[in-house]
Structure 1
Amino acid sequence: MNSSRKKQQAGSAKRTRLDPECIALMRLVDALRYADVEAAARRILESRPTHPLALKALGFALIGQARYDEALPIVAFAVERNPGDPESHNNHGIVLSALMRWDESIKCFSRSIEIKPDDPEVLKNYGVALARMQKYDEAVPYFLKAIASYPGDYVEAIEQLAGTLLASNRNDEAWTCFNELWKNDSSNGSILSQLLAASLKRCDWNELEARLLTLRSLTADCQSLVDNPFVTLSFPGVTAVEQRRVAENYARHSIPPSVLDSPDRLACGERLAGRPRLRIGYLSADYLNHPVGQIMPQVIELHDRSQVEVFGYSMRADDQSEIRKRLRAAFDHFVDLEDCSVIRTAERIQADGIDILIDVQGWTAYGRPEALALRAAPVQVNWLGYAGTTGHPKLADYLLGDPVVTPLNDAHCYTETLAHLPNCYLPADSTIGLNAPPSRRDAGLPEHGFVFCSFNNSYKFNPAVFDLWCRLLREVDDSCLWLSQPGGTAGERLRAEVQARGVDPARLVFAPRVEAKADHLSRLQLADLALDPFPYNSHSTGIDILYAGVPMVALLGDTFPGRVGASLLQAAGLAELIAGSPEDYQRLALSLAGNPQRLGQIRAKLATGRTSCALFDMPRYVRSLEEVYGRMWHDHLLGKRTALV
């Protein structure tokens, strides 16, 4: 809500007869001289405190200087004095949006649109507020109408539309928008970054390497990139330090400085008085039939209720799944925050007296890191859902990892203090029984031949990964590569990529989605060897494949998301399947594919490990987790914070 608004906010007053002092004020407005506008408006208001033009101009000046807290009473008073002025309602909405009060801002934009239905700026602002509330499907029509109402190309609204489409996984539409934007502005690093994200989601790798190099040159190694940091986690060649830069920039771009720079409101230790148990809150949008939701229930069920009281805060609607019912039952308190603003989210958590708040979402879809910036709890922890730093110490005090994914030597790559679980930081659900696998025919696989698999999201695939995997397919006769069915047009492109690498596209087999986790784990047993992608590894998909007893080869990378596969294997007692280079990865996979006896031994070890190895020993995992929470709280009471490793 920035560039296109600035000359409009004080504009309607030009329709009235102006005295010389007001004419001079309007000239300052036209020149965007915010400090001078403020001074001139205040001079007028000293003698005429309800002057409509001066009120609007003062609000405009404060908005232009990003002084939103000061602007709020001014723009609210302007609306009160001039309720029929659509620009005053728009200004009020802009200020509320800048203060993260998006649920209130849309009421202002709605009133402005009632008065002046086709104002493209207000329509765009309404869409942005809805998108920030993650109501993506509702936001899209407002952007489309704003674009249609604008005289010319409304680039700002098109950018917002493209980002909203990308966030809602309408990847082909998003790519079309970003591609056109990039054609018209090939110096815009933000557009290029999002075009790359859309391209990876739809497996469109044309010019990928060249565009990654261009992105690096345009953004000075990501120092100026302000896009959602989640999109860069899968970009080949982006370092952990660069991932931190992107997260820092995005946090500063998305959350008002008045929030990030304000002192914490929660006094040290005030929460525990009179209570014997720590109150632990888990904040997530994925208490659903979702990969994160599927691996959490046993952790919550196994918490020692003599030591902790556990709250689940849900940010998305009930999907009526069995996993949702199980999670709801597992928490001591389950709180639906779907329709809550970020401010009310923080206030509810504060009112519940949470001691340690675990943010399970980070910068992934439907998260509310802005609520963390308001310091919803004395201790805040980044864990599980987002494999990276949140980018500002106000959002999370600790990042909960393990010695493999977040080695202490990489502490400078995170704004959080590192806290380590002794084994893999990812939990599992070891309560699920494995049924007999279906037939290969029923699973859509060839009757004979070696089955490589990788059930990962399409954005984790890239040319280097497929170069390696296709070399394996060429080397191993009658082998196939089994993947989950990607969305949109990505499947067609993957078949084309395989063919371009000299492999029959028929050897690429896509598995349809199945609703029941037990059915999915059952069919995974048909695979012979799992191939971990890089630089963004398997996470919950890796847990699934190892739980099903299928060996996996992984490359040890240099970033958090690129080291998860190695962490899983280490905790499963299979460190020998961790490769140090792509060449080692290929040699290891070929060796295993040619040695059925060795594969059989690993499968037997995994079968035994379902009841004994660290990866699936959830009672031990939860004990370690509670020990870390206790250390966090102990340090908090002492007013210190050191790495817990």
Structure 2
Amino acid sequence: MPPAQFQRLLQEGLVHHRAGRLSQTEALYRRARALAPNHFDTLHLSGILSLQTGRTAEAVDLLIRAHRLAPKNAACAQRLGLALTIAGRAVEAEAPLRASLALDEKSAEAWDTLAHCLKVQDRLTAALECHQRAVALQPAFAKGHYNCGLTLSLLGRHAEALACHDRALAVDATYAKGHYGRAQVLQQMHNIPEAIAAYDRFLALEPANLEARGYRLYALNHLDGLDRDRLFAEHVAYGRAVDRQSVPAFANLPTPERRLRLAILSPDLRSHSCAWFLEPLLRHLDPAQFELYLYHDHFREDEVSARFKALATVWRNFVGRPADDVERAIRADAPDILVDLVGHTGMTPRLPLFAKHLAPVQVNYLGYPNTTGLTAMHYRFTDAVVDPVGEADAFATEKLVRFAPTAWTYQPPAVTPAVSVRNTNPGTDGAASPPGITFGCFNNVAKISDTTLGLWARVLAAVPESKLLLKGRGFADEGFRRKYFDRFAAAGLPPERVEFLERTARTEDHLALYGRVDISLDTFPYHGTTTTCESLWMGVPVVTLMGDRHIARVSGSLLTAIGRSEWIAHTADDYVRIAMKLAADPTKLAQIRAGLRDQVKHSPLGDHAGQSARFASALRDCWTAWCATRTSARAVA
């Protein structure tokens, strides 16, 4: 083809590309590459198109070839760095990104891309500096302000993050992600109603965004007094919005007894509360029965990740990878059972992948306290206390599998303080403690609902000289504390009897603070899980109020498991009565404190091997049920 015709071909492709007609663009660029396989513009434009359409590996290959042909082209170097970062090769991405900035240090886009590259390497402070360079160079860079806000959120600087998202909207009122960023920060700041309103504003602009819909569902679980039917309907609506696909003809051998390839997908295969419940189950799985594939989905890997890696036949980290790449990788691994530990709580929206039927058996467990809404999620593992038989089944799109006396298996941190001795009798011998009872709650601050505040106000009124110790993210900020003082005052809680503590960096320091607590008061409707286990482990009884749904019954399951159902209230009056009874008998409290850790150890919560066996048996039953459907299908055929 003459050069002029080749240029017209490439130009025609570029016109389609700019107009968003990507299928026509692909055909023309492919023809151009066949005619001139080493032409820079053809390779560069083809790489951009591959990146836009989620073909990351192909984009990397094309952009590497283009970069070699024109190493002084700053835009190409920047896009290569972006492609490598998305492909999970952030360390390699840094060189072309820095090369791009050496060629054009005033490129806000390149600084922003370098920031993303550093962020996925967990170099958050350096990433923030790059974001700040980007928006300083281009103050009207809405995406830059938004990305800066995301990084500030990861650093726990939520007020600054919110200001960044506000600036994004100020410079471009049509920038929908500004509303999304605001929603996420407001959720992290525990302003749940405001967060839901911001999600609604974003979804009014981008109604097909499943990630935002998922985060919104998680926020809805925290609302006080939300009708259970409406909450279920919201989850079902999410499931209907997902692009569902037909079930493929899986090549997995339908042999009930064979060794199974078990895959687990989670962003929390690291130092995270989810890991404390998962690791003991996996550690005791019989490797002759299960081949373990672990799919991590977070930029942070640590010593806990290393322990998970040692248990796995295959370990993959999907952080930042496009959904199509993740789907291809999982299909290539061909798991028999794929377990989701995220639901609608995760940092990465992988749940829609399950609608594509990535494995013959798909299970949701542990991470999310509600149905996923997906009919393609076949099972949800739970127990009969937290999800009563019959009643709860009507509020799940999955089949509920009540596989054990309690759905949790608690593994305390390797280093935990000894249970401390409390002296709540002023004037007696022993360790010095302040007079009066100290109630405490270390649950996620977002769980402190108006109903919870009303319960706590009644408890403090019923127990003279008692105090309330609260601990959580944000309490170091005076403005944040003031907001809660105002809420407490409105609920009738005397602010002078409430003390706030910020989160601690080390788990052992966090656990040691239970030495200041006599009785833990659970939140409602959203119970504690990890915090309930930690309180019990540190010898502190937990008073909880049972409700009508999973989130409002978790502590009930945990207390039932250790044989302490007498601390479970079924009415608000019961909650106050139980707290009063515990507070009235310091001697009994001391006995409870001395023996509670052993009760946890000798309960199903501490029976790691037994719970793992029950988990394995349930997985095997699910697999056997699938094998039976294949046998039936062959018989009919």
Compute the TM-score of the two structures, normalised by the length of structure 2.
0.71
**Residue 165 of structure 1 corresponds to which residue in structure 2?**
152
How far, CA to CA, are the matches of 1:353 and 1:211 in structure 2?
Answer: 39
Are positions 1:123 and 2:74 aligned together?
Answer: no
Contact 1:126–1:139 (CA<8 Å) still a contact in 2? yes
1:150-299 aligned at under 5 Å gives the runs: 150=138, 152-181=139-168, 191-192=178-179, 194-202=181-189, 205=191, 209=193, 212-213=196-197, 215-216=199-200, 219=203, 224=209, 226-227=211-212, 229=214, 232-235=217-220, 236-237=222-223, 239-242=231-234, 267-269=251-253, 278=260, 290-296=272-278, 298-299=280-281
The Cα of 1:243 is off from its aligned counterpart by 5.2
Are residues 95 and 630 of structure 1, via their aligned partners in 2, closer, same or farther at CA, if it must alter by over 3 Å?
same
How far, CA to CA, are the matches of 1:295 and 1:41 in structure 2?
Answer: 50
Q: Which of 378, 383, 389 lines up with 1:402 in the alignment?
A: 383
Are positions 1:421 and 2:406 aligned together?
Answer: no
2:523 partner amino acid: P
Q: Which of 441, 452, 456 lines up with 1:454 in the alignment?
A: 441
Q: Which of 531, 537, 557 lines up with 1:567 in the alignment?
A: 557
The Cα of 1:509 is off from its aligned counterpart by 2.6
**Residue 480 of structure 1 corresponds to which residue in structure 2?**
467
Contact 1:451–1:481 (CA<8 Å) still a contact in 2? yes
2:234 partner amino acid: E
How far, CA to CA, are the matches of 1:62 and 1:111 in structure 2?
Answer: 22
1:421 partner amino acid: F
Deviations 1:4-62 (A, max 9, x none): xxxxxxxxxxxxxx987777766666555556655666676676665554554555556
Deviations 1:537-560 (A, max 9, x none): 2011112224425032134254x5
How far, CA to CA, are the matches of 1:282 and 1:42 in structure 2?
Answer: 38
Contact 2:245–2:357 (CA<8 Å) still a contact in 1? no
The Cα of 1:628 is off from its aligned counterpart by 0.7
Contact 1:427–1:616 (CA<8 Å) still a contact in 2? yes
How far, CA to CA, are the matches of 1:351 and 1:119 in structure 2?
Answer: 39
How far, CA to CA, are the matches of 2:59 and 2:308 in structure 1?
Answer: 42
How far, CA to CA, are the matches of 1:247 and 1:419 in structure 2?
Answer: 20
The Cα of 1:312 is off from its aligned counterpart by 7.3
Q: Which of 462, 479, 499 lines up with 1:509 in the alignment?
A: 499
Are residues 389 and 20 of structure 1, via their aligned partners in 2, closer, same or farther at CA, if it must alter by over 3 Å?
same
1:294-443 aligned at under 5 Å gives the runs: 294-296=276-278, 298-300=280-282, 302-303=284-285, 356=337, 358=339, 360=341, 381-387=363-369, 398-405=379-386, 418-429=400-411, 435-438=419-422
Contact 1:179–1:195 (CA<8 Å) still a contact in 2? yes
How far, CA to CA, are the matches of 1:632 and 1:143 in structure 2?
Answer: 48
Are positions 1:595 and 2:586 aligned together?
Answer: no
The Cα of 1:153 is off from its aligned counterpart by 1.5
The Cα of 1:154 is off from its aligned counterpart by 0.9
Q: Which of 127, 132, 140 lines up with 1:144 in the alignment?
A: 132
Contact 1:476–1:590 (CA<8 Å) still a contact in 2? no
Contact 1:68–1:99 (CA<8 Å) still a contact in 2? yes
2:381 partner amino acid: L
Are residues 556 and 101 of structure 1, via their aligned partners in 2, closer, same or farther at CA, if it must alter by over 3 Å?
farther
How far, CA to CA, are the matches of 2:34 and 2:316 in structure 1?
Answer: 45
1:449 partner amino acid: G
Contact 1:38–1:57 (CA<8 Å) still a contact in 2? no
Deviations 1:548-575 (A, max 9, x none): 25032134254x5444234334444555
Contact 1:355–1:379 (CA<8 Å) still a contact in 2? yes
Contact 1:555–1:578 (CA<8 Å) still a contact in 2? yes
How far, CA to CA, are the matches of 1:230 and 1:47 in structure 2?
Answer: 47
Contact 1:268–1:639 (CA<8 Å) still a contact in 2? no
User: Structure 1 vs Structure 2: percent identity of aligned residues?
Assistant: 21
Q: Which of 89, 103, 112 lines up with 2:100 in the alignment?
A: 112
Are positions 1:86 and 2:74 aligned together?
Answer: yes
How far, CA to CA, are the matches of 1:26 and 1:619 in structure 2?
Answer: 61
1:493-642 aligned at under 5 Å gives the runs: 493-494=480-481, 496-499=483-486, 501-502=488-489, 503-510=493-500, 524=514, 527-547=517-537, 548-556=539-547, 558=549, 560-573=550-563, 584-585=571-572, 587-596=573-582, 609-610=599-600, 613-638=603-628
How far, CA to CA, are the matches of 2:601 and 2:16 in structure 1?
Answer: 73
Where structure 2 has 5 or more consecutive residues not aligned to the other structure, the ranges are 1-5, 633-637
Are residues 522 and 365 of structure 1, via their aligned partners in 2, closer, same or farther at CA, if it must alter by over 3 Å?
same
How far, CA to CA, are the matches of 1:28 and 1:333 in structure 2?
Answer: 46
The Cα of 1:401 is off from its aligned counterpart by 2.5
**Residue 9 of structure 1 corresponds to which residue in structure 2?**
none
The Cα of 1:227 is off from its aligned counterpart by 3.1
2:104 partner amino acid: K
Are residues 75 and 281 of structure 1, via their aligned partners in 2, closer, same or farther at CA, if it must alter by over 3 Å?
closer
How far, CA to CA, are the matches of 1:289 and 1:319 in structure 2?
Answer: 7
Contact 1:172–1:489 (CA<8 Å) still a contact in 2? no
Are residues 304 and 56 of structure 1, via their aligned partners in 2, closer, same or farther at CA, if it must alter by over 3 Å?
closer
1:419 partner amino acid: V
How far, CA to CA, are the matches of 1:261 and 1:41 in structure 2?
Answer: 30
Contact 1:532–1:538 (CA<8 Å) still a contact in 2? yes
The Cα of 1:121 is off from its aligned counterpart by 2.1
1:552 partner amino acid: V
Are residues 614 and 26 of structure 1, via their aligned partners in 2, closer, same or farther at CA, if it must alter by over 3 Å?
closer
1:88 partner amino acid: C
Where structure 1 has 5 or more consecutive residues not aligned to the other structure, the ranges are 1-17
How far, CA to CA, are the matches of 1:418 and 1:533 in structure 2?
Answer: 25
Are residues 224 and 183 of structure 1, via their aligned partners in 2, closer, same or farther at CA, if it must alter by over 3 Å?
same
2:419 partner amino acid: N
**What RMSD over aligned residues (CA atoms) do the two structures have, in Å?**
5.5
SS at 1:552 equivalent:
strand
With 511-520 and 343-352 compared, the bigger mean Cα shift is at 343-352
With 32-41 and 340-349 compared, the bigger mean Cα shift is at 340-349
The Cα of 1:454 is off from its aligned counterpart by 1.2
SS at 1:456 equivalent:
coil
Are residues 466 and 555 of structure 1, via their aligned partners in 2, closer, same or farther at CA, if it must alter by over 3 Å?
same
Are residues 51 and 354 of structure 1, via their aligned partners in 2, closer, same or farther at CA, if it must alter by over 3 Å?
closer
How far, CA to CA, are the matches of 2:465 and 2:133 in structure 1?
Answer: 53
How far, CA to CA, are the matches of 2:334 and 2:19 in structure 1?
Answer: 50
SS at 1:226 equivalent:
helix
How far, CA to CA, are the matches of 1:75 and 1:544 in structure 2?
Answer: 50
How far, CA to CA, are the matches of 1:191 and 1:136 in structure 2?
Answer: 21
With 233-242 and 219-228 compared, the bigger mean Cα shift is at 219-228
How far, CA to CA, are the matches of 2:329 and 2:20 in structure 1?
Answer: 40
SS at 2:470 equivalent:
strand
Are residues 78 and 393 of structure 1, via their aligned partners in 2, closer, same or farther at CA, if it must alter by over 3 Å?
farther
Are residues 561 and 496 of structure 1, via their aligned partners in 2, closer, same or farther at CA, if it must alter by over 3 Å?
same
1:588 partner amino acid: D
Compute the TM-score of the two structures, normalised by the length of structure 1.
0.70
Contact 1:400–1:418 (CA<8 Å) still a contact in 2? yes
Are residues 491 and 572 of structure 1, via their aligned partners in 2, closer, same or farther at CA, if it must alter by over 3 Å?
farther
With 537-546 and 84-93 compared, the bigger mean Cα shift is at 84-93
